[in-house]
Structure 1
Amino acid sequence: MQEDAQLLALADRTLWVTALIVGPVLLCALATGLIVGIIQAATSVNEQTLTFVPKLAITAVVFVILGGTMMALLSDFMREIFAQVAMMSA
């Protein structure tokens, strides 16, 4: 039972770390797509490729600004996982 609880806690932590890493990128891309979509609807410009460039630019900016924090969070999580695996196998 102890290992089941540890596995569920690890799965919960994995989902939380994934949400923290991916969340800012997805929210910025979503907001950019919404704004460009509103502008396209207001101007009647129905070019489907027009939303790609702003989303790509915003995603790159978010990665530049938050990339270090995302990598630190992921590396801390990986160290924690490896430490738990080492404790389980010992």
Structure 2
Amino acid sequence: MDDTASLLSLADRMLWVTALVAAPVLLASLAVGLVVGVIQAATSVNEQTLTFVPKLAVIALVLVVFGASMLGLIGDFTQQIFEQIAQVSR
């Protein structure tokens, strides 16, 4: 039963880390898409590349700003997983 609890705890932490890493990119993309969509609706300009280029630029900016903390979060989680593997194998 202890193995099941530790696996569920690991899965729970994995989902939280995934959500924390993906959230900045997804929220920025959502916000830019919403703003561009409103502008397109107001001006009746329906160009597909008009939504792609600003999203791409904002996602690149978000990755530059938050990339180090995202990689740090993933690195810490990976280190914790390997420490748990070492403790289980003893």
TM-score normalised per structure 2: 0.98
Q: Secondary structure at the match of 2:86?
A: helix
Q: How many Å apart are 1:86 and its aligned residue?
A: 1.2
Counterpart residue identity of residue 34, structure 1:
L
Within 1, Cα distance between the matches of 2:88 and 2:58? 42
- Tell me which amino acid in the other structure corresponds to 2:44: S
Query: Which digits, 9 at most, give the CA deviation of each residue in 1:14-60, with x for residues without a partner?
Result: 00000000001000000000000000000000111210000000000
Specify the SS of the correspondent of 2:45.
coil
User: Which residue in the other structure is 1:52 paired with?
Assistant: 52
AA of the residue aligned to 2:86: A
Q: Match for residue 77 of structure 1?
A: 77
Equivalent position SS for 1:45: coil
Structure 2: gaps spanning 5 or more residues: none
RMSD: 0.6
Asked whether 1:39 is paired with 2:39, we answer: yes
**In structure 2, what is the equivalent of residue 16 of structure 1?**
16
CA distance in 1, matches of 2:61, 2:49: 20
Name the residue aligned to 2:61: 61
Q: Aligned partners of 2:4, 2:89: CA distance in 1, in Å?
A: 15
Residue correspondences, number: 90
What percentage of aligned pairs have identical amino acids?
62
Q: Distance in 2 between matches of 1:72 and 1:48?
A: 35
